[in-house]
Amino acid sequence: MEELAADVIPLLDCPFVLFGHSFGAIVALDLAHEILARTGLEPLALVVSGSGPPGSAAVRGVPLHLRSDRELIAELRLMGGTLSDVLESEDLMALFLPLVRVDSEMLALRSPGPRLNLKCTVLSVAGTDDANITDAAMNEWRRVTSGAFEARRFPGGHFYEYSGGAALMNFVALRSLRLAAAANAHQMSAEAP
């Protein structure tokens, strides 16, 4: 995380939003904390997609890294986003499954330590047909911030952003513009004589 933050921080010369999908939602959360700890800056919004928060009991199923090859392939098929030809190729699965397991295990074993409390808006989003992410798991993201929180589902499965990307991007862009306008108005009032 330190290397990722070191690469990102020099780019933060304007308001920003962090977005992470699935495993990336946890990466985005950790990055928000790392940026806050190093710079005092927070994103306008942390958008967490297709995932429950770390330690969520509301995420369904056995962690991916503990599943058999057959169970893991079945789960990937259920999630969508991976071509059937890829899932049916023993050679490709021999390369791909270990990567999925490593990502899952890294998330299960992560221990970020003490953290500053986030105050940014958190937007929790998922597909309406994503059976692994319950409404309860989405709403558990509320606990990572003392700021505003909103949960919303979009049509589709785990990889809903492929089919409903425009609606998702419109939602994130509209919320981001509203947050930027509010932050700008607050700054202007603070600077007024």
Query: What is the rounded CA–CA span in Å between residue 130 and residue 93?
Result: 23
Catalytic residue check, 158: yes
Query: What is the rounded CA–CA span in Å between residue 81 and residue 57?
Result: 25
Q: How many CB atoms lie within 10 A of CB 92?
A: 14
And the tokens for 172? 């994130």
Q: In terms of DSSP H, where are the helices of 9-89?
A: 23-39, 69-79, 84-87
Catalytic one of 21, 22, 124, 176:
22
Which one, of 20, 33, 2, lies nearest residue 115 by Cα? Answer: 33
Catalytic one of 49, 51, 158, 176:
158
> What region, left, alpha or beta, does residue 98 occupy, with left being phi > 0 and alpha being psi -120 to 50 degrees?
alpha
Residues whose CB is less than 8 angstroms from the CB of residue 92 and which lie 6 or more positions away in sequence, other chains included: 86
Catalytic residue check, 22: yes
Q: Catalytic residues, which ones? A: 22, 158
